[in-house]
Structure 1
Amino acid sequence: MLLNSPLKMCTWAIAWAVLAAAWSTAQAADAKAGQVKANMCVTCHGAYGLSTMPNAPHLAGQPAIYIEEQLKQYRSGKRANEVMAVMAKPLTDSEIENLAAWYASIPIEVGQPR
């Protein structure tokens, strides 16, 4: 691919900067601490992020940045859910990052439908 215009070069530079920031955030998080904190999530989301309730999503294997964003939106009230608002409200940014790192670290295998 040729970066033959300043706009393309700038776009790629911004994209790489965003990826680097997301990567460094994920690397700074503590998945083990997240696993411990995730004990409060087990009832709905399962011990390894595989939901035990039909109205609760699977969290295992989700990208950390996605989980972080959703928890912060629940915490702020931007995203509404009675249960999640209560669960996310007391979480610190660090705890959210750790939870996200834990769930993102759980491997998921997908196969062809039978």
Structure 2
Amino acid sequence: FTLALSGSAFADAASGQSTYAAKGCIGCHGANGKSVVATYPSLAGRDAEFVKKNLTDFRSGARKEPTMNAMAAGLSDADIQNLADYVGSLK
């Protein structure tokens, strides 16, 4: 049972990694979640629930930041969960 959960979490993180690359997150937040530009926050070390909440808030407009609102607008709930799982795995 634990193996199945681990496999599922790995699959979600792998999907999240693909979405992270495809959506261009790397450009601002870095390939490994460590931004090299001070104005963009590093994501490595962030908790998955933090990432999920923020992406959900950006998508809904509850949190205002034009670039992130636009980036999150097209994300599905599954995309957000997968991105959160991936970012949560970065150290």
| TM bin (shorter chain) | 0.7 to 0.9
* Distance in structure 2 (CA, Å) of the matches to 1:105 and 1:53: 21
Distance 1:29 1:96, change over 3 A: farther
Q: Which has the larger radius of gyration?
A: 1
- Contiguous gaps of at least 5 residues in structure 2: 1-8
Tell me the residue number matched to 1:97. 81
TM-score normalised by structure 1 residue count:
0.67
- Contiguous gaps of at least 5 residues in structure 1: 1-26, 108-114
* Distance in structure 2 (CA, Å) of the matches to 1:43 and 1:60: 14
- CA offset at residue 65 of structure 1? 0.3
Q: What are the equivalent positions in structure 2 for 1:1-114 lying under 5 Å apart?
A: 27=9, 30-39=12-21, 40-107=24-91
- CA offset at residue 84 of structure 1? 0.2
TM-score normalised by structure 2 residue count:
0.83
* Distance in structure 1 (CA, Å) of the matches to 2:58 and 2:88: 19
Number of residues of Structure 1 aligned to a counterpart in Structure 2: 82
- CA offset at residue 61 of structure 1? 1.7
* Distance in structure 2 (CA, Å) of the matches to 1:61 and 1:70: 15
Cα RMSD (Å) of the superposition?
1.7
Q: Deviations over 1:29-49 (max 9, x none)?
A: 700000011012000000011
Q: Which has the higher contact order (CA 8 A, sep 6+)?
A: 2
Quick one: percent identity of the two aligned structures?
Answer: 40
> In structure 1, what residue type is equivalent to 2:90?
I
